[in-house]
Amino acid sequence: MDIIQSIIIAIVEGLTEFLPVSSTGHMIIAEKLLQIPDNEFTKMFTVAIQLGAILAVVVLYWKKFFDFKNWQFYLKLIVGVIPAIILGLLFSKKIDALLESTTTVAVALLLGGIVLLFIDKMFTSPRIQSERQVSFTSALLIGLWQCLAMVPGVSRSAASIIGGMQQKLTRSAAAEFSFFLAVPTMLAATGYKLYKYYKDAGGFSSDEIKLLAIGNVVAFVVALLAIKFFIGFLKKHGFRIWGIYRIILGVLLLILLYTGYIKS
């Protein structure tokens, strides 16, 4: 992976991390199109640069993250991230294997798109307007929904937002709680991946550190813009357009796989 490739992947990450379209799926597609070697560094890089994207959440919502009087906020996030930590540790090898499957991404994008076409009509009576009203039970259940995103192409954002709406959160409240939950989830995933790579490879080269630094900075800047756009768009238009986008992309990806333009 060179610097230009790392910047492109980071832009893809920043744009898609908080949209219900699967950032992991898009990065896998980008890697295939750019013909980036599918090695351990690449796998680690696509997870590690999510740190830059989630720091954008902390910056945009800094009042919530640094309101230490609201201790329940932090506890809800801890409760919500527990399922992902447990399942991530138990099935890390199987998750890594799925990251190599472009076919899995295509099918997940397609099926998830169909779900998003109808999701706005499925939950029509929201009553929770902010994270302060989210119970600990709801936080845990949303965290369980988030685990569906361990399958590349599902979308962590989509899964946790749908989980939030199932727990009676409004679209915008569900999206914001999904953003908040991303912080400890991605911190844990990034920390684990960095530690595992450092342990297995015996450290990071100067070039690898440079690529990680550039990737995180680019992902951070792009994610700042993407989050603001998504919340405003979601309030006005809902999820249908994202469902259509996912279906088109999923079908296109299946065609490219069938024709052999990209490998599965």
pLDDT tens across 46-68, in order? 889 988 998 998 998 888 888 88
User: What are the structure tokens assigned to 10, written together?
Assistant: 């980071």
Count: domains in the chain: 1
112 within domain boundaries: yes
Residues 29-42: what's their mean pLDDT? 87
Considering the domain boundaries, does residue 207 fall inside one?
A: yes
Which stretches of 61-170 are DSSP H helices?
62-65, 71-90, 92-98, 102-122, 136-146, 156-166
What is residue 70's predicted lDDT score, i.e. its pLDDT?
A: 86
The answer to whether position 38 is within a domain reads yes
Contact 217, 9 (CB under 8 A): no
Within 10 A of 63 (CB to CB), how many other CB atoms are there?
8
Residue 260 has pLDDT above 90, yes or no: no
- What is the average pLDDT across 172-195? 88
Give pTM, 2 decimals: 0.85
Structure tokens at 116: 């998003």
For residue 180, tell me if it sits in a domain: yes
Query: Quick one: what percent of the chain has pLDDT higher than 90?
Result: 41
Lowest-pLDDT choice from 7-16, 31-40, 109-118: 31-40
- Give the model's pLDDT for residue 89: 83
Q: 8-17, 54-63, 85-94, 156-165 — which is least confidently predicted? A: 85-94
Count of alpha carbons within 13 angstroms of residue 196, beta-carbon side: 17
Q: Which domain holds residue 252?
A: 3-259
- Report the pLDDT value the prediction gives residue 168, as an integer from 0 to 100: 92
Tell me the mean pLDDT in the region 7-32.
89
37 in any annotated domain: yes
CA distances in angstroms from 98 to 45, 135, 227, listed in the order given = 16, 33, 27
Q: What confidence category does residue 239 fall into, taking pLDDT thresholds of 50, 70 and 90?
A: confident
Alpha-carbon separation of residue 128 from 33, 51, 81 (angstroms): 42, 28, 20
pLDDT at 139: 94
Task: Please state, rounded to an integer, the average pLDDT across all residues of the chain.
Answer: 88
Query: Quick check: is 60 in a domain?
Result: yes
Asked if residue 40 belongs to a domain, the reply is yes
Q: What is the arithmetic mean of pLDDT over 144-151?
A: 90
Poorest-confidence range of 146-150, 172-176, 231-235? 231-235
Helix (H, G, I), strand (E, B) or coil at 114: helix
Mean pLDDT of 127-136: 89
Q: How confident is the model at residue 83 (pLDDT cuts 50, 70, 90)?
A: very high
Give helix 156-166 / helix 102-122 axis angle, nearest 10°. Answer: 30
- 262 secondary structure, DSSP code: S
Choose among 157, 34, 47, 156: nearest CA to 99: 47
Residues whose CB falls within 8 Å of the CB of residue 24, separated by 6 or more in sequence, listed in order: 46, 99, 105, 149, 152, 153, 156
Residue 264 lies in a domain: no
